Chain A
Amino acid sequence: MNRRILAALLSAVLLGSVAVGYTVLRARPAPAVDRAGITLDAPGLLLRDTRTGRLAVQDSGGERAGSALGCARLYAAAGTGVCLREGLASAQLVLLGSDLTERRSIPLNGVPSRARVSGSGRMVSWTVFVTGDSYNGGRFSTRSGILDTRTGTLAGNLENFTVDGRPPDPDANVWGVTFAVDDNRFYATLSTGGHRSLVRGDFAARDLHPLKDNVECPSLSPDGTRIAYKKALPNGGWRLTVLNLADLAETPLAETRSVDDQAAWLDDRTVAYGLPHSGTGADVWAVPADGTGTPRLLAADADSPAPLH
């Protein structure tokens, strides 16, 4: 009983502080002051400032430090950053060291969409939109790739992986990669024949195994047990949902607005995501991963969140 009261009290305190944080953020948008010495090592929230299009880091007090690094999509883990950068000749996949120095840049085809780094910082993935595939009459298709930064192995097109040992159909598209802790297994969306499925990939074996239909943009929880994803709704929107990998049970999260993003787990209990706001730009929100609670604003005028530990 005592414990329950304590929990209730704690919740109230937390909610109160969230409310305060919300007020502060709305009243005084975090100043994205360019600051030297931003690192991917200090705790905080990596994000893209949607007013400047540049990489920024928000500390636990809600204060934001901006950088000069323009990115369309971001992610980071364990000191490895990835910035998908639009460019004149070609978009670029830019690998960043923890001090934001550019370690390597690889020309990307198409328009940057998703980016992810494995928890160890070793594996990097990206998704771009391309046009010109004959099977869909000039509409956008996606392409995804994975780089093993330790061995240098580069898989430029996951559509070249097999599906249960066989070549996928020609209309296959893959997007939204998320890595497991062993730096070999990963999850992604495979679209083929009108189905969008969650697949489990094996990087070494170059194979994809379908697990469940109607799961897009998966994001694996740090403990490896659950997938946060966007579930397509009949009305054309997406519901942020969590899938339990052990029994494939689905839990819709408390965010009822349509979320078109690959969510990022802040910890094993919370996922963060970008939501466009009116006009241009977006805000980053967070919601409990168990279906309870309500969404809270984490960072105004920002998207592409990634927790820095």
Chain B
Amino acid sequence: MPSRRTGVAAVLAAVIALTGTAAVGAASPGRATAAVAAAAVPRFDHVVVVPFENKDYSAIIGSSAAPYLNSLAAQGASFTQSFGVTHPSQGNYVALFSGSQQGVTDDSCPKNLTGRANLGSQLIGAGFGFKGYSEGLPSDGYTGCSSGRYVRKHNPWVDFDNVPAASNVRYSTFPTDYAQLPTVSFVVPDMCNDMHDCAIGTGDTWLRNNLDAYAQWAKTHNSLLIVTFDEDNFSSVNQIATVFVGDKVRPGSYGEQINHYNILRTLEDAYGLAPLGSAATAAPITDVWTTSTPGPTPGPTPTPSPSPSPSPTPSTPGGIVNGGFEYGTFNGWTRTGTTAIADLPHAGAYSGAVGATTPTDGDSVLTQTFTAPPGVTRLTIWWKGDCRDTVKYAWASIAVKHNTSGTTVTPLPRTCTANGSWQQVTDTLTPGHSYTVQLVNHDDNYPGDPSITWFDDLVLS
């Protein structure tokens, strides 16, 4: 069996050498470009991807059935709008691994996918390591459809003839010295521990017992853990939980819409690999990294982009982070009271909603401290109010503290309006000076006349 696989691999290598040159060759010039563009995703020494089975987002995140997964979510980036691409399982695994379902629309086995590029073949072809560690796999290189609680349908690399048999190994060979891990690996729990046949709590405990040590190690060793699900369990939308934990991950909830293709694209960008299939049109995940700058935003519409800044907190030496809320999150902002990312933009896809359409108590505030970059003399802020009260009880306001000079300016004094239009206010800045901008909505919590304000597109010019 292994010798046959090796033979296939050898032939395949030859095929790649001939036909594959087109792809590799074509990718090579693009490679430099990709590397430049890919700077938005850090290159990790090790990434471990753990896919679980068939759970709705709401069955995991916020659920007491999955205490460890929720603790992981709190330690890392948790994606609140993450989706599978299809049903049933197998197509999702193939999609995550290769950027396409490759025509796989059912769980039947074996699927034999010949000569089709995938994350494993790409990594290995570029000199990186790849392994799939499968629990219950009876022997390394096993290609059978099932054995006990192991199933090949959750193990996509076996389907691709260009991934060597040596990459298909038993989970029992997962190293205890994590530095020995290949660059990228998948860990696939068996049909019980992946929550397919057993309770959520079983998989949750398995994850803690088996991968928490890696997760903690990853945080200090330029490494990453990705926990995701193949698909939901037939709610009305295919929404799943996805969590990133590790080094350079800025903890928080992230609201950009992602699916398996965005995750593949992110991994491909990390290693300068040409994105495959649907990953080519999927945005890489760039906003969760502490190394990221507000350069490429995930939203479809470009937002007025502040100049690049090396570090977003606590004071941004070089501009405002996420001033258009196009990250779909509050990255860069400090929040008090009631705030939400809103699908009601001045431009782009999102704005920041402060207050709510139901009564809130007192001030809700978005705050960010930044330093005006060289050449910047003006701050523009767009806002839109829906104030159902009078200004005595409810209002929108904007204050800019000039930290360097010790004064405070109020580009928007207390205003209560519900005229439905976006308006802009400005403040004059001095390059190199520090500023703290506060975006305020005040409501008196009186039933029936709630006040909410949307803010958007804080631009330095």
Chain A interface (Cβ within 8 Å of chain B)? 89-90, 93, 103-104, 106-110, 126-128, 130, 132-133, 143-145, 149-152, 154, 156-157, 160, 183-184, 204
Contacts and interface: CB of A to CB of B under 8 A. Distances in A.
A291 B61 CA distance: 48
A150 B343 contact: yes
A90 B236 contact: no
Given A90-B238, A151-B353, A106 B83 contact: yes
B238 A109 contact: yes
Nearest to B350: A152
Nearest to A158: B236
Contact of A156 (B58, B87, B105, B342): B58
Contacts of B353: 150-151
A3 to B, nearest CB: 39
A115 to B, nearest CB: 11
17 contacts: A106-B239, A107-B83, A107-B238, A107-B259, A109-B234, A109-B235, A110-B234, A143-B236, A144-B236, A145-B236, A149-B344, A150-B357, A152-B255, A152-B328, A154-B237, A184-B358, A204-B358
Interface residues of B, number: 34
Contacts of B95: 89
Contacts of A157: 56, 58, 235-236
B229 to A, nearest CB: 13
Contact of B235 (A93, A145, A150): A145
Nearest to B100: A89
Contact of A93 (B237, B328, B344): B237
B311 interface: no
Contacts of B87: 90, 109
A195 B454 CA distance: 43
By secondary structure, the B interface counts as loop
B86 interface: yes
Given A90-B86, A90-B87, A204-B358, A152 B81 contact: yes
Nearest to A145: B236
Nearest to A113: B236
B237 A108 contact: yes
Interface string B66-84: 0000000000000011011
B232 interface: yes
A151 B257 contact: no
B232 A109 contact: yes
Nearest to B278: A89
Contact of B236 (A110, A150, A183, A204): A110
B232 A156 contact: yes
B340 interface: yes
A67 B23 CA distance: 38
A107 B84 contact: yes
B395 interface: no
Nearest to B84: A107
B180 to A, nearest CB: 37
Contacts of B83: 106-107
B430 interface: no
A35 B353 CA distance: 37
Contact of A127 (B236, B328, B349): B236
Contact of B239 (A126, A152, A156, A184): A156
Contact of B357 (A103, A127, A128, A183): A183
A145 B235 CA distance: 8
B341 interface: yes
A103 B232 CA distance: 23
B341 A152 contact: yes
A109 B236 contact: yes
Contacts of A160: 58, 235
Contacts of A156: 56-58, 232, 235-237, 239
Contact of A143 (B101, B235, B255, B342): B235
A238 B85 CA distance: 36
Nearest to B259: A107
Interface centre among B236, B255, B358 (most CB of A within 10 A): B236
Q: Which 10 A-B pairs have the closest CB atoms?
A: A157-B235, A143-B236, A145-B236, A156-B235, A89-B86, A107-B238, A156-B237, A151-B340, A149-B343, A130-B234
A104 B87 CA distance: 20
B236 A108 contact: yes
Interface in B288-343: 328, 340-343
A107 B82 CA distance: 10
B237 to A, nearest CB: 4
B272 interface: no
A204 to B, nearest CB: 7
B238 A104 contact: no
A152 to B, nearest CB: 6
Nearest to B85: A89
Interface centre among A89, A106, A108 (most CB of B within 10 A): A89
A130 B340 CA distance: 32
Contacts of A151: 340-343, 353
A90 B58 contact: no
Contacts of B120: none
Contacts of A150: 342-344, 353, 357
B91 interface: yes
Interface centre among A103, A107, A183 (most CB of B within 10 A): A107
Interface in B230-246: 232, 234-239
Given A109-B232, A152-B255, A157-B58, A89 B91 contact: yes
Contacts of B238: 90, 107-109
A185 B326 CA distance: 30
Contacts of B56: 156-157
Contacts of A107: 83-86, 237-238, 259
Contacts of A109: 87, 232, 234-238
Contacts of A144: 236
Given A108-B238, A109-B237, A183-B357, 8 more contacts: A103-B343, A132-B234, A143-B235, A150-B344, A152-B341, A156-B235, A157-B56, A157-B58
